[in-house]
């Protein structure tokens, strides 16, 4: 891994050009109640394509950013351990928003991205700067996949295809409204779309799709806000885990905590938060993650959505430092709102 400077004007211009193209497929009406696309619960100005121009100008004219992926703690996943079923909760962070959650042996993957780029193209888009800590083919059987939204650092069709071929059968794949039909057309089996607050049961698990403050667009398959976005609450017995996906700060956290909390563990994004003028509505920063942890009534939280891809202006290694500062300011311990090494596994005994 090399420390590098993120200053790639040609590549950024290509990304900008792609981002401004309409989706290749016509947008479909996904819900009669949202004829102009899906909306957040709190009205506000969402990030627009034209905001990318001043951001790009700032990147081209501002100081270079020192990304140092070598400074990010990581360890290979202990695969043999994962193949031994345990009671209670066991969680493994595979980098970014990809997390393996096991509760009493029921296995769920959130936002699986195994590819080298967070992009529909193998030659363009944010490249992985820290390696995946495991060969996904060596993971134990996955029962369900939870997809928060269709941005490419969360929904990777190649990874879903690989999981569909796993020994023992394809996992159930839960996606937001509007992302089911095109995934089925792309050959992904067992896809079910969920609306906010919709609940499904699968084996011992209850899964609830919950609101987030964000937006959606899949560069080649879905137009702007033509599919929904959100987080998930996974409950098995007395254990419950909240997976936020991508979200800005707002009243959704408190509503989720009131309706479904408290949580054994919350997976909260702590990366992609600079510059704030561009990212505030769509991504919480570390201080807002600490506040969200409290709003949710989570016993512990793990900071995710950092360390693998450069999606914004803070150095890739910076989120844990900013989180430590936010914890100090809020009087929260590092055991309560945590960061781990990429590839790390931790267990909680059955309550």
Interacting residue ranges for Zn ion, rule: CB under 5 A = 151, 153, 246
Q: Which CB atom, from 90 or from 117, has the smaller least distance to Zn ion?
A: 117
Nearer to Zn ion, 126 or 257 (CB): 126
**Residue reference for tokens 């939204």:** 149
Tell the smallest beta-carbon distance from residue 77 to Zn ion (Å).
Answer: 22
Residue nearest Zn ion, CB atom distance:
151
The answer to whether 96 touches 309, Cβ cutoff 8 Å, is yes
Nearer to Zn ion, 153 or 314 (CB): 153
The 3-state DSSP class for residue 351 equals coil
Nearer to Zn ion, 90 or 214 (CB): 214
Closer residue to Zn ion in complex, CB, 153/313: 153
Pick the closer one to Zn ion by CB: 245 or 343: 245
Minimum separation from the CB atom of position 228 to Zn ion (A): 12
Shortest Å, Cβ 149 to Zn ion: 6
Which strands form 337-338's sheet, in the order they lie side by side? 199-202, 205-210, 231-236, 239-243, 263-269, 298-304, 337-338
Query: Using alpha carbons only, how large is the chain's radius of gyration in Å?
Result: 19
* Cβ 342 vs Cβ 134: under 8 Å: no
Closest to Zn ion by CB, 153 or 225: 153
Rounded Cα distance, 142 and 153, in Å: 20
10 Å Cβ neighbour count for 276?
A: 12
Least distance CB 257 / Zn ion (angstroms): 22
Residue 153 or residue 179: which is nearer to Zn ion going by CB?
Answer: 153
CA-wise closest residue to 191 among 220, 150, 219: 150
* In the complex, minimum distance from the CB of residue 214 to Zn ion, in angstroms, rounded to a whole number: 6
**Distance of closest approach, residue 86 Cβ to Zn ion, in angstroms:** 30
Alpha-carbon gap, residue 163 to 303, rounded angstroms = 25
Cβ–Cβ < 8 Å for 108, 144? yes
CB of 153 to Zn ion, least distance (A): 4
Tokens of 244: 């936020």
The tokens describing 157, both together, are 């069709």
The pair of three-digit structure tokens given for residue 145, joined into one six-digit string: 């996949």
Beta strands in the chain (DSSP E): 4-5, 66-67, 89-93, 99-103, 106-110, 144-146, 172-176, 191-194, 199-202, 205-210, 231-236, 239-243, 263-269, 298-304, 337-338, 345-348
Q: How far is the CB of 105 from Zn ion (least distance, A)?
A: 29
Nearer to Zn ion, 16 or 332 (CB): 16
Q: How many CA atoms lie within 13 A of 248 on its CB side?
A: 20
Q: How far is the CB of 158 from Zn ion (least distance, A)?
A: 17
């Amino acid at each position: 891994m090399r420390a590098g400077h993120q200053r790639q004007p040609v590549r950024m211009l290509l990304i900008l050009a792609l981002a401004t193209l309409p989706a290749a497929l016509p947008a479909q009406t996904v819900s009669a109640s949202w004829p102009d696309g899906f909306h957040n619960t709190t009205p506000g100005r969402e990030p627009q394509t034209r905001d990318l121009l001043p951001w790009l100008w700032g990147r081209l004219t501002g100081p270079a950013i020192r990304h140092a992926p070598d400074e990010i703690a990581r360890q290979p996943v202990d695969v043999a351990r994962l193949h031994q079923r345990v009671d209670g909760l066991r969680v493994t962070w595979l980098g970014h928003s990809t997390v393996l959650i096991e509760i009493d042996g029921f296995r769920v993957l959130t936002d699986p991205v195994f590819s080298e780029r967070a992009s529909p193209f193998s030659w363009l888009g944010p490249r992985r700067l820290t390696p995946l800590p495991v060969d996904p083919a060596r993971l134990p059987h996955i029962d369900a996949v939870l997809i928060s939204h269709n941005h490419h650092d969360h929904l990777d069709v190649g990874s879903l295809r690989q999981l569909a071929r796993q020994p023992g059968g394809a996992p159930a794949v839960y996606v937001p409204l509007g992302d089911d039909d095109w995934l089925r057309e792309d050959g992904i089996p067992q896809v079910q779309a969920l609306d906010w607050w919709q609940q499904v049961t699968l084996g011992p698990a209850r899964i609830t799709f919950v609101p987030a403050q964000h937006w959606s667009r899949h560069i080649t398959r879905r137009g702007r806000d033509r599919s929904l976005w959100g987080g998930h609450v996974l409950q098995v017995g007395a254990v419950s885990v909240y997976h936020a996906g991508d979200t800005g700060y707002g009243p959704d956290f408190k509503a989720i905590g009131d309706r479904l909390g408290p949580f054994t563990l919350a997976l909260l994004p702590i990366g992609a938060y600079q510059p704030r003028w561009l990212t505030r509505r769509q991504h919480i920063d570390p201080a807002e993650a600490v506040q969200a942890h409290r709003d949710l009534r989570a016993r512990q939280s793990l900071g995710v959505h950092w360390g693998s891809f450069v999606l914004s202006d803070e150095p890739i290694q910076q989120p844990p430092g900013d989180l430590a500062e936010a914890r100090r300011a809020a009087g929260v311990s590092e055991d309560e709102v945590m960061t781990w090494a990429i590839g790390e596994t931790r267990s909680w005994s059955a309550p």
